[in-house]
Structure 1
Amino acid sequence: MAQKRALPFILPARLDERARLKQLRRYKIKPSNIAKIYEADGWILYIPTKKSFFKLPKEMIPGRELEHRIKRIHDYIEEYRSLIDLERRAEMDAQRNEIRTLSGREREVYGRAILGLKGRGEGMKFDLFIVRFSRDKVIDTEIGSGDIVLISRGEPLKSDLTATVMSVAKNYIEAAFSQKPPAWVRSEGIRVDLYVNDITFKRMESNLEKMRHIKAPYSDVRDIVLGLKSASKSATTEIEAFNGDLNETQLEAVSSALGGSETVLIHGPPGTGKTTTVTEVIVQAVKRGQRVLASADSNVAVDNMLRKLSKVEGLNLVRIGHPARVGEGLERYALFTLMENDPANAEIRELVEEVREHIEARNVHSKPTPARLRGMSRERIRTLAASGRSYRGVDTATIRSMARWIAEDEKVQRLFERIRALEEATVRRIVTRADVVLSTNGMVGSEALEGIYFDLAVIDEASQQMEPSTLLPMLRAPRAVLAGDHRQLPPTVLSGLDILRDSLFERLMQAGGIVSTMLGVQYRMNGTIMDFPNTLMYDGLLEADPSVAGRILKLERVPSDPFQRSLIEPEKAVTFIDTPSVDADERLRPRSTSYENEFEAGLVTSAVKSLVECGVKEGDIGIITPYLSQVKLIREMLEREDLQCEVRSVDGFQGREKEVVIISFVRSNLAREIGFVKDSRRLNVAMTRAKSKLIMIGNRTTLEPNTPFDRLFEWLEKEVGASLLKAPAS
C-alpha cells in the first residue's frame, strides 16, 4: 500500500455508480473529499481536496501522462458542449428577435421571408407531403433548397409548423412536410420564414460525448486534434489518375492523402479545383478497397462531390439526407430512393397495409381512455372481458370492446416493430455495401449512420465549419482528409465567440506538423483579377492556367456613353470606381445596424444596364456587397429596371463564380471607419468570384487609410490591366 497522500486516482469508467461508490467507501473516501471529477478514455479521474488523505493501491494512481490525457479530453468536450449551446441559443434568439422587430416586408427584402403566398398540395414524394407556395410577384430570397422554414398565416411567432424547402423558382417555393400539414396551408396569405435547425447542434453535442471513450483506431484522429499525438508522415504513393487533367499540385495532394497519415490537409485557394482533387482522392481510395465517407457542412458542397463522382463508372454511391435537400437529378443516389427500390420494400409495403387494416379494425372498438379505464390495467381489462364482468360503473360490453381494441393495438405495435426492424436492416445493408457514402456533417450523426464506420473520411469546406461540426465525420474513420481555404471566410458564428470562428482546418494549418498541400493553379480568373488576391493572401504562389489567364469579357457592342464604355472595357479586367465623398454618404436604415449607400446602388444598377445592353446575360452578372441593407436596396433598384441579377452578401457568394462581378463597398464617411469591410478574407472572397471582369465601387478617401485597401489602391495605380475611374456626379 502507498503512503497517505492526497493524490489524484482513477477508477474504470465501465463501473456503474453503485460499484464506484463501493470502491470509494472501501478506501474511506467521502464525496466531500473529492474536489473535481474528470471522465475520458475509459477512466474516471478523481481529484481530491487539498486536505484529504487516504491510502490507495498503486494501480489506482495514474501517471502524469494519463492524468493529463484524461483532463485534456474531458475539458475539451465540456468546453465545446458549452460553446455549442451558446451558439444554438444565439441563433434562435437572432431569428426570434428579427421576426419580432422587423416587419414582414423588411424581413422579405433581407431575403429571410416570403409573403403573400398561396399553397397548393402537390401530392407525396418519399413519404413526404409536398406543398407549392406561389404568387404572381417574383420571389427574390436568400432561402434555398434544404433550409428549414416556418410556415404561418402571417404571424410566424404564433406558428410552430416547420417544413424543409425542396426548391425555389421564380414564382414559387416548394416545401416538404414530414406529417400531413393542416388545411390552412392551402389558403392565401401564407408567409414563409427562414428558421433554425436545432437538430445539428444536438448531433454535435452527442458526437462530443461519444469521443470521450472512443476506441482505437478512431481515437488516433481525436488525439491529433487535441494535441495528444503527432500525425504520422505520408508515404509517397504512386497513383494512376482517373482524371487525366490533374495538374502537378493536385496529383501531389492526392498522393499525400493516400499516403497513410491519420490527418491530411488540402489547401485549395479560389478556382484551384479543390472539389475535383477531393473527388480523385475518393476514387483512388475506393480503387484500393477502402470505404469512404464524403461530407461537407452544406448540401450544395455534398451534391457537388456527388455530381463529380456520379461520372465515374462502377462506384456504388449513397447520399444520406432529407429528400428535399438532395440536388436535382441526384435523387437516384438518395437513401430514400434506394430503400424504395430495395426488394425488402415490398414486404414493408405489405406490412404497412396490414397496419392500416388493424387500425381500422381497432377503431370500431372503444379506446381505453382515462375516463373509461378507472384504474384498470390492460391485463385487468382482458381478465374482466373473459369473465364477462363489469367494473366500477364500466359495463361488460364496454370492457369487452376495450379488450378487442387492446388486442388490435398490440398487433399494430408488433407490426410497427417489424417494419422498423426491416427498415433499419435495409438501411444498414445499403450503407455498408456502398463504396462512398455522402452526407452533410450534421447527417453523419443521424440514425442512418449510427454505429457505421469507414476507412477514410473526406471533408470538403472544412475551413467554413465550426470545429465540432468537422468532428462529426472525422471521428468515423481512422484517417481523415480535410479540404478548405482558411484565407477565405471562416465559419458563420452568431454568438460572437471567436473560438468557434476558428475552424479545425485553420487551427491544424497554423499548428503545423500535419501533412498539407496547397493547390497552385487556378482555372477561374483572368490573370489580372487573380493578381492582387494572390499577393495579399497566397504569397504570390498561385498561377493562372493558360486557358483562363487571358480571359476577357465578350461584348456584342460598346456603350455610347464614355464613362460606361470605360467602365466595362473588356481589356481592363479590373475597374475601380471612386465615388465622391459628398454625394455618396453611407446611411443606416431605421431600426437597423446595416449600412446602405444609395449612390453606389445607383452606379451598380447603371453598370448592370450597360452590361446587359452590350450582350452580357443577366445570369452571368453577380453583385456582392458586405451589408444586407445594401443587398436590399440594390435588389429594389434592379427590380424597378426589370433586371434579374443575383445580389448577395459576401458570405452568400462564397463558393460561387460569375463572368462579371460588381462589388459595392458601401462605407463612405469622414471618420474613415469601415468596420468588418476591412477583413482581408472578405475582400479575397469578393474579388475572386469574377472570371472575366471585376468592377469595384467605393469611396477611396474612406477605404484607403485601412489595410488591406491601402495595398489595393497601390496595386491599382501600378497594374496596367486595371483602371481607376472617378464616378460622375449624381
Structure 2
Amino acid sequence: MGSQSSSRGRARRAARGRRQRGESEETGSRARARTAAETTRATRAVKRRTAVRDLTETPTAAEETITYGKAASRDPRKAAEEREKLWARLGATKNGASGTSYAHLLDGGARAHGGSAASTSGTRSRGSNRAALRLGFAAHRERFAKGLKCELEEEMALSEKRLNTWTLERLVSEGYAILGMRARYEGMLQRDALVRLTIPFADASDMSPLGRELPYHRFTTGDMVQMSEGDEHDAAGGITGVVALRSMHFITVAVHEDDLARLIETGSKWRVDLSANTVAHDRSLAALVAFSEPGGMPGSSAAPRRTDDRKSSTSYSTLQRALLGVPDENGTLEQLANMPPQWAGKEQKQNLAAAIKLVRDPLNPSQRVAVKSAMSCSLAVWQGPPGTGKTRTLIAYIGAAVHLASIQRRRGKGPVVLASAASNVAVDNILEGLAKEKFVIDGRPLRVVRLGAPAKVQPWLQELTLDAQIAQHPLGRQAAAMRDAIRGLSGPAYARQRKQATQLELTAAKSILKSVDVVCSTCVGAGDDLLEDLTFPVTVLDEATQCTEPAALIALSKALSAVLVGDSRQLPPTVVSRDAVDAGLQISIFERMERLGVKVSLLDLQYRMHPLIAEFPSQAFYSGKVGSAPTPQDRPIVPGVAWPKPNVPVVFLEINDAECRAPDGNSLYNVEEAKTAITVVKKILASGDLAGPGDIGVISPYAAQVRLLQEEYGVLGTAKRNYLDYTDEDKMKELEIRSVDGFQGREKEVIVLCTVRSNTGGGIGFVDDPRRLNVGITRARRGLIVLGNRRTLSTNEIWRKWFKWIDQYGCALGDYKNFIGR
C-alpha cells in the first residue's frame, strides 16, 4: 500500500512538473511574442516619426518615388512616357510646365478612367498598376502636406502678428485677450482643477461672485488659452488651460492641478490670451504619412479573406485604396467601396440581417437603406441634409455594428466602433444618443468611453469620459490615493511616486479601452497615443464635410471600414490660407468621394422644420428630394409678432441703413439691423410662448455683427451655476448669438438671420456662398426671420431665387414696425 501511495505521489509530482514546465514555456512564448510586438510597434513609430520629419523638412516630389525600368532609367524620353502612362492611370491630365495635375484627388476627372485598371492583362500590367498606386499615394501626401504647411504657417504668422505688432488695446478690443481677471477655485474635474475667471468690481463693497460683465471676446468652449500674471503676455512662464464654460460674467477654465495654487493666490490678476495649438497639424501630418504607406492602415489588399486585424507591410488595404479614389486591378472605385469589410463579410450574411433587425424599427426607409448598405461595404457615404436625423441613423448603425460583433463572438479584441467628428459638440451628440438609446449587448449595457479633455465634454456626459472611468477603476483609485498622499510635496522621491501613479492610470486606461464597445472622440483626439495599437472594425465620421481630409484621416486610418456622414451642400472646412485652399485643403474627403462618383445614400426625410421653412432648401439644394415629417400642426407658428402670412413662419425684413466696416478692417456690421434683430427677439420673448431666450438663435455671417448684437442685447437671465452643475435649464436662460458657420449642426425654435450687407455697389462677400445660405435658413423649427437689403443681396443668383420664393408667399416687409405691431 505504501509502495502504491509513493508511486502515485511520484506520478503526481511528475505531472505537476510537466504542467509547470509547459506553463513556463507557454508564458515564455507569450512574453517573447509580446516583446516582439512591442519592438515592431516601436520600430514602426520611429519610422513614422522620421517620415513625418522628412516630409516637413525636405518634402519629396511625387515623381521622385517612381521606380523606372531599365530602358526608362537610361532614356529620358522613355522615362517621360512611363511617367505619363502612370499619371494617365490615375486620371491626371497635363497641366502646363509641371506636366501633371491631381485630377484623381480633387475632381471627378478620374471617372473617365473609372473602369477597372485590369483591362490589360498580365503581370506587367499588375506591376504598372502597383507603380501607379504608389505614385497616387505619394501625390496625395505631397499635395496635402503642402496644404497643411501653408495653413500652419498662416495661422502662426497671424498669431505672431497679433502678439508682436498689435497694441494691447487692440488685442482686447478685438477679443483676443482679456485683462485684469481673478481666479476662484470651483472644483475638480477628474485630474484637472476648474477655476472661474472674473473681472472683479472696482468697489469691494459691491463684490459679486459673478464680477463685471466681460468685454467682447472670442473664447469658446474647448479653446486653448494662455494665462499670464499681470498685463504682459508670458509665453514661457504662463499657465495653459482649456475653456470649459463661458458666460456673460465669467469663463471657467480647466488647468493642471499643480497650477491651481499659483492661479488663486490672493491679489493676483491675470491676462488671458487665445493660444495657438499645433496638435491638430502634427496629428494630421502623421495620419497623412500613415495613409500613404503600404501597411499604414489595418487590413491587407493582398489577402482579402484574412480575418485577423494585423497590418500588412506590403500592401494597401481596401479602405485605403478606396479613400485614395483610384481604381486598380481589383476593380472600379465603386467596386472597391462596396467590397464587404473583413469583419462583416459575405459569409456573415445571416448574422448581418439579425444585427440590422435589432435596431431598424425606429428608422425611416432611407435611413434603413443607409444602415443596411453601410453594414456590408468597406466605404459608405451618407448625405444628411439639415434635420434628416443623421445622428439618429448613425447611432442605429453603431448599435447594429456592435450587435454583429457580439453575434460573431468577437470578444477580447478591443472596441468595435470609433465614433468621430470634427467638433466636440457633434461627438457629444453621438455620445448622448448612445447613452439614451440603452443598447443591450449579450445581456449587458453597451460600453462607451469618451476620449479627450474632460473640459471639452458637456457636464452631463462627464461620467462617460475616460478620465472619469479611470477614477472608478481599481488602478485609478490606487493612483489617486498616491497623488493625494504627496499633493503639494516636491523632490525626487515624490516625482517617482507621481510617475508610478501615471503608469497605473495608463494601465487602467488601456484596460478600459480594450473592454468597451465604442470609443467616441474628435478626429484630432483620435490621434491620442492610447489608440495607437487599436484596430477598429469601423470608423464612423460625422461632420465629414466640415473637417479637412488630413484631419479626417486621423480617425479613418485606424479602421477596416468607414462610414462618412455629411452634406456637401453645407459649409466646408474652415481654412485661412489661400495657398492651402489652392492645394485642396478646403475640399473634404466626403466631397472628394462624391465628386469621384462613389454612391451616396441620401437621407430624404427631415424632422426639424415646419414644412414651409424646409420647402425652399429642398428645392434649391436637394432637387426637391427631401420631404418633411412634421406637419404645420406639429410646428405651430410662434406668436408675439405679425407674420405677413399667418400660416407661413418665414419673413424678410428690409434694412435700408448702410453696412459699416469694423475698425480692424476684416469684418462688417450694420447698426440698424442689429437694433431691429434684438427688438424682434424681445417682442417674441414677451409673448411667453417660448421656454426662454435659449429657444432663439441670432446668427450672422460676420464676427463684427455678432459682437454688436451681443452688446445690443445686454444682460438678461440669471447667473449660471458652477460648471459641474450646469444643465439644460441653465442654457435656456441665455440667448445664443453666434456666427452662421458656428451654428451649423444646431437648431432653435426661432432663428433671426442678420445678413449685414447693404451697399450701393452690390457687393455681398462670402454671403454669396449658397452653402452659407443653406445653413442659415435651415436652423429654425417654428420661425425664420431674415434681415437684409434686397437690392444688395439680389446681385447673387441664389438670393434672387430665395426672394422669388418669398414673394410667391408674400412674406416680405418693408418696415419692421409692421412685424412687431407698432
TM-score (norm 2): 0.70
Mapped to 1, the partners of 2:716 and 2:453 lie a distance apart of 38
3-state SS in 2 of match to 1:329 = helix
1:725 to 811, 814, 818: 814
From 638, 642, 657, the counterpart of 2:713: 638
Q: CA deviation at 1:202?
A: 0.6
Letter in 1 for 2:592: R
For residues 285-364 of structure 1, what are the structure 2 equivalents within 5 Å?
Answer: 285-289=401-405, 291-311=416-436, 312-313=438-439, 314-348=445-479
Work out whether residues 463 and 484 of structure 1, in 8 Å CA contact, stay in contact via their aligned partners in 2: yes
Q: Give the distance between the partners of 2:197 and 2:64, measured in 1 at CA.
A: 52
Q: CA deviation at 1:334?
A: 1.2
Q: CA deviation at 1:493?
A: 0.6
For residues 727 and 579 of structure 1, the distance between their equivalents in structure 2, rounded to whole angstroms, comes to 8
Residue 645 (structure 1) shift: 2.4
| Distance in 2, Cα, partners of 1:283 & 1:36 | 41
Paired residues of 1:453 and 1:476 also in contact (CA < 8 A)? yes
Shift of 1:662: 1.1
In structure 2, relative to structure 1, the CA distance for the partners of 1:696 and 1:104 (3 Å cut) is farther
1:683 to 762, 770, 773: 773
Aligned match of 1:166 in 244, 252, 264?
244
Structure 1's 446 and 536: CA in aligned 2 closer, same or farther, altered over 3 A?
A: same
After superposition, the Cα gap between the structure-2 partners of 1:234 and 1:137, relative to the gap in structure 1 and judged at 3 Å, is farther
Tell me: CA distance 1:725–1:61, structure 2 relative to 1, closer, same or farther (3 Å): closer
CA deviations 1:398-448 (Å, max 9, x no partner) are xxxxxxxxxxx5x77876775555443322221111100111111111111
Residue matched to 2:262: 183
Q: Does 1:233 align with 2:338?
A: yes
Q: 2: CA distance between counterparts of 1:681 and 1:301?
A: 19
Tell me the equivalent position of 1:404.
none
Taking the aligned partners of 1:337 and 1:161, their CA distance within structure 2 comes to 24
Cross-structure match for 1:4:
none
Distance 1:483 1:37, change over 3 A: closer
Deviation by residue 1:64-93 (Cα, 9 ceiling, x = unmatched): 222222222122223222221221222233
Contact between 1:258 and 1:285, CA under 8 Å: does it hold in 2? yes
Deviation at 1:727? 4.7
1:307 counterpart letter in structure 2: E
Find the aligned partners of 2:763 and 2:709 in 1 and give their Cα distance. Answer: 22
| Aligned residue runs from structure 1 range 128-527, under 5 A | 128-135=192-199, 136-139=211-214, 142-153=218-229, 155=231, 157-159=233-235, 160-178=238-256, 180-181=258-259, 183=262, 186=265, 187=267, 189-211=269-291, 212-213=293-294, 214=296, 216-217=299-300, 219-229=317-327, 230=333, 231-233=336-338, 238=353, 239-242=356-359, 244-259=361-376, 261-289=377-405, 291-311=416-436, 312-313=438-439, 314-348=445-479, 419=501, 421-496=503-578, 497-498=580-581, 499-512=584-597, 514-527=598-611
CA distance in 2: counterparts of 1:693 and 1:35, whole angstroms:
53
Give, as a single letter, the amino acid of the residue that structure 2 aligns with 1:623: V
1:621 aligns with one of 692, 696, 705: 696
Once the 2 structures are TM-superposed, how far is the Cα of residue 167 of structure 1 from its aligned partner?
Answer: 2.1
Distance 1:350 1:195, change over 3 A: closer
Within 5 A, what are the aligned runs for 1:580-599? 580=656, 584-599=657-672
For 1:276 and 1:106, the matched residues in 2 are separated by 44
**Distance (whole Å) between structure 1 residues aligned to residue 735 and residue 503 of structure 2:** 50
1:542–1:60 distance in 2 versus 1, CA, 3 Å: closer
AA partner of residue 225 (structure 2): V
State the partner residue of 2:676: 603
Equivalent position SS for 1:462: coil
AA partner of residue 672 (structure 2): F
- Contact 2:198–2:249, Cα closer than 8 Å, also in 1: yes
Q: CA deviation at 1:451?
A: 1.4
Query: Structure 1's 613 and 106: CA in aligned 2 closer, same or farther, altered over 3 A?
Result: farther
For residues 350 and 35 of structure 1, the distance between their equivalents in structure 2, rounded to whole angstroms, comes to: 54
Give structure 2 stretches of 5+ with no counterpart: 1-42, 48-59, 79-122, 200-210, 301-310, 312-316, 328-332, 341-348, 407-415, 440-444, 718-732
Q: Look up the SS of the partner of 1:501 in the other structure.
A: coil
CA deviation string 1:342-366 (max 9, x = no partner): 1223554576689899x97xx5xxx
With 609-618 and 335-344 compared, the bigger mean Cα shift is at 609-618
Give, in whole Å, the separation in 1 of the partners of 2:797 and 2:167.
Answer: 37
Counterpart in the other structure of 1:535: 619
Higher helix share: 2
User: Following the alignment from structure 1 to structure 2, what is the Cα–Cα distance between the partners of residues 346 and 340?
Assistant: 6
Q: Would you say the 8 A contact 1:276–1:308 is kept in 2? A: yes
Which secondary structure does the structure 1 equivalent of 2:459 belong to? coil
The alpha-carbon distance between structure 1 residues 154 and 571, as it changes in their structure 2 partners (threshold 3 A), is farther
Whichever residue aligns with residue 714 of structure 2, its letter is E
Is it true that 1:81 corresponds to 2:171 in the alignment? Answer: no
Q: 1:289 to 1:111 in 2, by over 3 A?
A: farther
Q: Secondary structure at the match of 1:464?
A: coil
Letter in 1 for 2:553: L
1:474 maps to a residue whose letter is L
CA distance in 2, matches of 1:415, 1:715: 69
Moved more, 281-290 or 98-107: 98-107
In structure 2, how many angstroms separate the alpha carbons of the residues matched to 1:549 and 1:687? 20
Residues 110 and 632 of structure 1 are in contact (CA less than 8 Å); yes or no, is this contact kept in structure 2?
A: no
- Following the alignment from structure 2 to structure 1, what is the Cα–Cα distance between the partners of residues 638 and 175? 32
Give the 5 Å matches for 1:560-579.
Answer: 565-566=642-643, 571-579=647-655
| 2-structure distance, mates of 1:180, 1:614 | 50
Measured in 1, the distance between the counterparts of 2:646 and 2:174 equals: 33
Contact map agreement 1:119 1:133 (CA 8 A) in 2: yes
Task: Select the residue among 757, 767, 770 that pairs with 1:667.
Answer: 757
> Deviation at 1:194?
2.6
Shift of 1:166: 2.0
User: In 1, distance between residues paired with 2:674 and 2:279?
Assistant: 39
The alpha-carbon deviation at position 501 of structure 1 amounts to: 1.0
- Spell out the pairing of 1:99-110 with structure 2 (5 A cutoff): 99=163
Please state how far the C-alpha of 1:199 moved relative to its aligned partner.
Answer: 1.0
What displacement does 1:106 show? 5.8
Shift of 1:695: 0.9
Closer, same or farther: CA 626–60 of 1 in aligned 2, 3 Å: same
Contact 1:45 1:67 in 2 (8 A): no
Q: Deviations over 1:587-632 (max 9, x none)?
A: 1122322111112112112212221222243222211111111111
Compute the displacement of 1:586 (Å): 1.2
Q: Which amino acid aligns with 1:621?
A: I
Structure 1 stretch 203-212 or stretch 451-460: which is displaced more?
A: 203-212
- Cα distance in 1 for residues equivalent to 2:250 and 2:158: 26
**Correspondence 1:656 to 2:656:** no
Match of residue 802 from structure 2:
712
Structure 1, residues 535-559: CA drift from partner, whole Å, max 9, x if none? 111111111113567623343xx4x
Contact 1:38 1:45 in 2 (8 A): no
Structure 1 gap ranges (5+): 1-12, 18-33, 54-58, 364-408, 559-563
Name the CA distance, whole Å, in 2 between partners of 1:184 and 1:456: 43
